[in-house]
Structure 1
Amino acid sequence: MKTMRAQVLTEPYHFELKEVPVPEITDDEVLIKIKYCGICGSDWGSYTGKYADEVACIPLTTGHEFFGTIEELGKNSQGLKVGDRVAVDICKPCGTCYHCRIGEPLLCTDFKQIGIHLDGRFAEYVKVPWKNVYIVPDSVSDEKAAFVEPLTACLNASKKMQCQIGRSVVVIGAGLGIMHAQLAKLRGAAPVIVIDANADRLAMAKEICADYTINVKETDPIEEVMRLTNGVGADFVLEAVGSSKTYEQAFQMVRKGGKVEAFGICSDDDYASLAPVEFVLSEKKVGGSTAGIGYDWGDALTLLEYERVDPMPLISMIVPLEELEVALNEIRKNPKLIKVLVSPQVTERTILYKE
């Protein structure tokens, strides 16, 4: 029996590096050899036991932002070959519930995601349905390919926000929020405003895509947004932090008739206070977006192939698989870290951010 190294979450706040069997694939699956797997903000929630549905899946090998190569093919797979560089749609809706049948698979009543509810990619290998596999263009680097999954989540939010050309967009949060701001600029939004408390991240946002940045340590973000929008408020506000406080701020800085796009995930017991009268008299709107699915992967790869977005400034560090738990905690303490890639194929960490 072949074995592999895997970081197994055995209980909240504890990963254990284990030798486990290499997954055996069915005729409808492929085996992927992992090159990189990014650490997502939601991985911290999984690690700390923040999400009850994920705690129920422990023990589990987490990790869902990955890139790798095909190691083995199931006999029913088509259009793929061993050695292909690939990204994979992590979503596995049931396909038969009410939501799936009406075209809302992300709301599936038995929704599962690889690396969140099913064993994932903080390991040497993972098995996936062949129909979920997307070939990565040769011009897209391995590091950029590891960013496909978070880019799909941003794409889903951008599509659902439906920003119109020439309209103002505020993004609260300058982590993955920088990617949201890039997409808003691609859609012709003006101005694009990014809010955060981290001066280094705000400087990066300004260099890459933001017309204005607001440091909440220096000024009231609501007042500043109102000033920058001539007292009207923003047409669209995307919350990418996951805090009741910032959701409340988003609702206060969006204009009458504007829309708040909910992206940041709060804990189950975190509630925001919103005035219902604003929904009626000001016709303010709120929408949610949970993840990318299906051809969001194809769209993301196209944007990377034609260099419409560049995730490289967001990739801060690459670490060996053995350092996963250390890196998870470092991200919470080091403000320079945005995206960290974990690799079972490296033995030493590589620092990509400016010291």
Structure 2
Amino acid sequence: MKALVLTGKKKLEIQNTEMPEPKANEVVINAKYAGICGTDYALYNGLPGSADAVPPIVLGHENSGVVSAVGSDVTDLKVGDRVTVDPNIYCGKCEYCRTARPELCDNLSAVGVTRNGGLEEYFTAPTQVVYKLPDNVDLKSAATCEPISCAVHGMDLLNIKPYQKALVIGDGYMGLIFAQLLRSYGVKSVDLTGRHDDKLAAEKEKLDIDRVINTTKEEIPAEYDIVIEAVGQPATQEQAIEATVKGAQVLMFGVGAPDQKFSM
């Protein structure tokens, strides 16, 4: 089968690789779609993701596909099931897992980071992180489950009220997801920043944004109860703080470099 293999820093190669065999608690998934995340860009440039990706490795932690084989202990999935994958695999045994903080797991492994992911024709995953899709979710849409779930988790950390005024800094993929989530959560006013007038105009119309702000031309007013930073640069992180009213909430969602700093 063919796979897009990260063989070193800024080095990707299409290779012919062997068909994987599932362990007892795993399934083999015939990949249909795989997204490219900002984390993949970082891994490509030799930076860490949720864990270090040690080449050779196949990236692709945002994915969907069809189960093509099941391990001997698998009872909850069958060949032909349409699925998507939560890439994060927690050990369940370390102090953090046993105290309900699995995101800090000492032994984290991740599909598409520490083990091969969706940028190959077939990959494996333990059933604990494989989710069967409902009939009304197509495979292309299903590949967005992972990034959307990250945004939903960020929303769950906020205390959201309908009367609040919200700002999303950054109109990239994740920023647009947050703008739609804020609206669906019932926030009365949602504004969005970006750097290109034509793109912002289209987003304002399509996503029912109240106001768009081109930060190359306009200042962001300090009037927001909720600010979501979806860029990950020091300048935009500082903008997020400065855009708030007293008692506001700021979600720093954008991922910066490990040694990055911003002033507050």
Q: With structure 2 as the length reference, what TM-score do the two structures score?
A: 0.94
The answer to whether 1:17 aligns with 2:14 is yes
Q: What amino acid maps onto 1:12 in structure 2?
A: K
Partner Cα separation in structure 1 for residue 78 and residue 90 of structure 2: 25
Between the two proteins, what is the percent identity of the paired residues? 35
Q: 2:88 aligns with which of 91, 108, 113?
A: 91
Paired position in structure 2 for 1:117: 114
Partner Cα separation in structure 2 for residue 58 and residue 111 of structure 1: 17
Find runs of 4+ consecutive structure 1 residues off by over 2 angstroms.
Answer: 50-56, 109-112, 198-201
Paired position in structure 2 for 1:167: 164
The answer to whether 1:211 aligns with 2:210 is yes
Partner Cα separation in structure 1 for residue 115 and residue 50 of structure 2: 12
Write the mapping of 1:102-251 to structure 2, written as runs, cut at 5 A. Answer: 102-175=99-172, 176-206=174-204, 207-221=206-220, 225-226=221-222, 233-251=223-241
Q: Is the 8 A contact 1:7 1:18 kept in 2?
A: yes
Q: Which has the higher helix share?
A: 1
Partner Cα separation in structure 2 for residue 39 and residue 124 of structure 1: 16
Partner Cα separation in structure 2 for residue 247 and residue 181 of structure 1: 17
Write the mapping of 1:57-72 to structure 2, written as runs, cut at 5 A. Answer: 57-72=54-69
Give 1:199 shift. 2.8
Partner Cα separation in structure 2 for residue 220 and residue 205 of structure 1: 19
Paired position in structure 1 for 2:260: 270
Give 1:262 shift. 1.2
In structure 2, relative to structure 1, the CA distance for the partners of 1:29 and 1:100 (3 Å cut) is: same
Q: Is the 8 A contact 2:39 2:49 kept in 1?
A: no
Q: With structure 1 as the length reference, what TM-score do the two structures score?
A: 0.71
Partner Cα separation in structure 1 for residue 52 and residue 152 of structure 2: 28
Bigger drift between 76-85 and 55-64 goes to 55-64
Partner Cα separation in structure 2 for residue 114 and residue 263 of structure 1: 21
Partner Cα separation in structure 1 for residue 37 and residue 225 of structure 2: 28
Paired position in structure 2 for 1:315: none
Q: Is the 8 A contact 1:32 1:69 kept in 2?
A: yes
In structure 2, relative to structure 1, the CA distance for the partners of 1:52 and 1:107 (3 Å cut) is: closer
Q: 1:258 aligns with which of 205, 227, 248?
A: 248
Paired position in structure 2 for 1:343: none
Write the mapping of 1:311-326 to structure 2, written as runs, cut at 5 A. Answer: none
Q: What amino acid maps onto 2:57 in structure 1?
A: L
Tell me, what secondary structure is at the counterpart of 1:161? Answer: coil
Partner Cα separation in structure 1 for residue 198 and residue 86 of structure 2: 32
Partner Cα separation in structure 2 for residue 153 and residue 200 of structure 1: 28
Partner Cα separation in structure 2 for residue 102 and residue 156 of structure 1: 19
Give 1:38 shift. 0.7
Write the mapping of 1:72-83 to structure 2, written as runs, cut at 5 A. Answer: 72-83=69-80
Give 1:109 shift. 2.3
Q: Is the 8 A contact 1:51 1:267 kept in 2?
A: no
Could you report, residue by residue, the CA deviation over 1:59-82 in whole angstroms, capped at 9, with x for unpaired residues?
Answer: 211111101000001122223221
Tell me, what secondary structure is at the counterpart of 1:180? Answer: helix
Q: What amino acid maps onto 1:235 in structure 2?
A: D
Give 1:205 shift. 2.7
Tell me, what secondary structure is at the counterpart of 2:157? Answer: helix
